[in-house]
Amino acid sequence: MGIEISEIISNEQNTPSVWVMRIKTPPGLKTFKAGQFGNFYLCPEGSDASNVANYIYARPFSFASAPDNEYIEIGYKIAGAFTQKLKTLKPNDKVGVKGPYGVFTFDADKDKDVVMLAAGIGIAPFLSALRYATEKGLANYFTLFYSNKTKDEIIYYKDMEKLKTENPNIKIFYTLTQEDAAGLDHGRINLEYLQASLVRGQFADSIFYICGGHDFIGAMTTMLLAAGVDAKRIKKEDFGKLPDS
Ligand SMILES: Cc1cc2nc3c(=O)[nH]c(=O)nc-3n(C[C@H](O)[C@H](O)[C@H](O)COP(=O)(O)OP(=O)(O)OC[C@H]3O[C@@H](n4cnc5c(N)ncnc54)[C@H](O)[C@@H]3O)c2cc1C
């Protein structure tokens, strides 16, 4: 299917630098797999938003909502021109969307024990998988390591704390790189931190998912490979060069 025009349901600030948008699920995106993304499109200022040919600016965004909902949710970090424009849009305004795309997908049958490594807005596809597993009551086990600069930059904090209470198979380690906060860890994600937090066996057998900006993907991949994790057990989604998180 080509670009579909969809209506914005809500578009709200979630942290100082991240916004969360919900759009009505267009027919072509009724089904997708947790972890996939869509290309989102905007029109030039003043052009007719009901004409699909006008949707010429595009950026990919991971779906943060679970599949099979009446809405699709994305979380986006304010970076350049596209995201600056996105945050000005209001309910009932239109965006174009096309997809789903991507192979960074959660496989409930194969991925029994999942370790997720996220930095900043890299949490988005993981949230989709955690929401999906919780909605479906799946028995898969998830350990999420989530790195942010400061506590108020933890995206979806309330949503994740709620998921934890609903799903005993979700364990979350929040770590802050530029602030100390009670109850949260401090420092970058490194091998020592991972080995101290994961139970033995889990490190050897889990499937590792990494998502965030380009530098984070590189650092986490190098760390896991150096620790002897088989490359086949590492899945990654590189969001590219983002303002650091
Ligand atoms: C598969 C995939 C999924 C993604 N999912 C998400 C997601 O869920 N959420 C999310 O927030 N992002 C996601 N991204 C990244 C997203 O697509 C955009 O790249 C990001 O939002 C930046 O877009 P932008 O147009 O606002 O910024 P851009 O204009 O592309 O700018 C990007 C960076 O370049 C800098 N920059 C811009 N112009 C200049 C310039 N002239 N000189 C120097 N630096 C400049 C900006 O400050 C910023 O740091 C994903 C990317 C991929 C590949």
Query: For 194-240, what is each residue's pLDDT tens digit?
Result: 989 988 778 888 999 999 999 999 999 999 999 999 999 999 999 99
Strands of 37-42's sheet in order across: 57-62, 37-42, 94-101, 4-15, 18-24, 71-77
pTM of the model: 0.94
What DSSP string runs through 199-211?
PTTHHHH-EEEEE
Domain covering 4-101, topology: Elongation Factor Tu (Ef-tu); domain 3 (2.40.30)
Q: What residue spans define the domains of the chain?
A: 4-101, 113-238
User: Does pLDDT of 244 surpass 60?
Assistant: no
**Ligand 1 pocket, residue 58 CB under 6 Å:** no
Residue pLDDT, tens place only, 19-60:
999 999 999 999 999 999 999 999 999 999 999 999 999 999
Query: Would you state the pLDDT for residue 242?
Result: 74
Indicate the pLDDT class of residue 79, thresholds 50, 70 and 90: very high
**Ligand 1 pocket, residue 97 CB under 6 Å:** no
**Ligand 1 pocket, residue 82 CB under 6 Å:** yes
Q: Which of 23, 63, 242 to mutate to test the pocket of ligand 1 (most atoms within 8 A of CB)?
A: 242
Check whether domain 113-238 has CATH 3.40.50.12240, yes or no = no
R_g of the chain, CA atoms, integer Å: 18
Distance CA 69, CA 58 (A): 23
